[in-house]
Amino acid sequence: MGIRVLKPRTPAMRKTSVPDFKEVTKSKPEKSLLSPLKKTAARNNRGRITVRHKGGGHKRSYRLIDFKRQKTDIPATVFAIEYDPNRSCRIALLIYKDGARSYILAPVGLNPGQEVISSDTADIKPGNSLPLIKIPTGTEIHNIELRPGKGGQLVRSAGVGAVLAAKDEQYCQIKMPSGELRRVFSLCRASVGKLGNADNENIRWGKAGRIRKRGWRPKVRGMAMNPIDHPMGGGEGVGKGNHPMTPWGKPCKGYRTRNNKRTDKMIIRRRYDKGAKA
C-alpha cells in the first residue's frame, strides 16, 4: 500500500493524504457475504449515551469475515483483494474448490490467483491457517485464537504481526506487537504472515469532515470546560493544578485498568515492562 498526497487546491486539501488503493482489485463487495450494520450512535437500550464522541458516519455494510477458518483441508483460490470500511486492513475474497466463498484478512504477499488452505499440514505461506503447535518458532502470525474453535481475536489490525517465540505440548509463547509476551494454548489456530496496509497509520485526514464520515463526533478538552462539567475545568489560564482524569474523576493517560486475575498467569511479560521491545 502507498499513500497519495493531494494537491492543495483548497485549504482543506492542504497536507491531506489518502491511500492509493493499488492493492485493491475489486471495488464492489460480494453480496452473499454482506450483513446489515445498524448504527446505535453509542447509546444503550434506554437511549442514553454510554460512549461519547461517536455518532453519524457513512452508511456501511458488514463483511462477514471467516476468523475461524474451520473449512479445513479444502484449498481455496484468492479471487480478489477488497477494501473493508469496518477495519484498517484489507480483506481477501476466497473461492474454495467446492464453490463456497468467504473473506479472510489479507496478509502481506497475498495476491489474486494464489492458493491458501486451512490445514494441520499446510505450508508456511501467507494466508494459510494452522494450529500453533504446527507452526515453526520465529514465524510471523496474525488472527490468533485464544480458545480453540472460537475464532481469531488477536493481531487483526493493519500492519501488525506477532511472533511465535517458543512452544511446548500445552502452551505456546507469542510476542505481541505491543511487546507483551503471553501464553496461548497450542491447539489454537493462527494465520501465517503479517497483515498488510501498514501505511494506514501515516494517513493525514486533513479536515474534520473526513473524521465525521468515520463516525467520530467532535471532542472538547476537559481543561476548556467549566468546573461543574469536568474535574479539570475552570481556573485562570492554562495551569489547572489537576492530574489528567476522566469527567468522572478516574485517572487516565497511563492509568492501568486491567483487572483479570483469571488470565494473569498467561502473561509472561507485560508490554510496559522495562526491556520490552515493541
Q: What pLDDT does residue 186 have?
A: 96
Q: What pLDDT does residue 169 have?
A: 83
Residue 276 has pLDDT above 60, yes or no: no
Q: How far apart are the first and last CA of the chain?
A: 22
CA distance 32 to 42: 28
Q: Are 171 and 263 in contact (CB under 8 A)?
A: no
- Least Cα distance to 180 among 46, 278, 80, 79 occurs for 278
Residue 274 has pLDDT above 80, yes or no: no
Comparing 240 with 167, the larger pLDDT belongs to 167
CA distance 129 to 100: 17
Q: What pLDDT does residue 272 have?
A: 80
pLDDT tens digit sequence for 102-138: 999 999 999 999 999 999 999 999 999 999 999 999 9
pLDDT tens digit sequence for 86-97: 999 999 999 999
Residues 6+ apart with CB under 8 A from 253: 244
pLDDT tens digit sequence for 180-199: 999 999 999 999 999 999 99
Residue 141 has pLDDT above 70, yes or no: yes
Q: How confident is the model at residue 18 (pLDDT cuts 50, 70, 90)?
A: very high
pTM here?
0.91
Kindly report the CATH number that applies to the domain delimited by 18-200.
Answer: 2.40.50.140
Q: What pLDDT does residue 240 have?
A: 63
Where along the chain do its domains lie? 18-200
The enclosing H or E element of 58 equals none
pLDDT tens digit sequence for 20-59: 999 999 999 999 999 999 998 999 999 999 999 999 999 9
Radius of gyration of the chain (CA): 22
Q: What is the mean pLDDT of residues 163-188?
A: 95
Q: What pLDDT does residue 230 have?
A: 92
Q: What pLDDT does residue 275 have?
A: 55
pLDDT tens digit sequence for 196-245: 999 999 999 999 999 999 999 999 999 899 999 999 988 887 766 778 99
Q: What pLDDT does residue 183 have?
A: 97
Q: How confident is the model at residue 278 (pLDDT cuts 50, 70, 90)?
A: very low
3-state secondary structure of 3: strand
Q: What pLDDT does residue 156 have?
A: 98
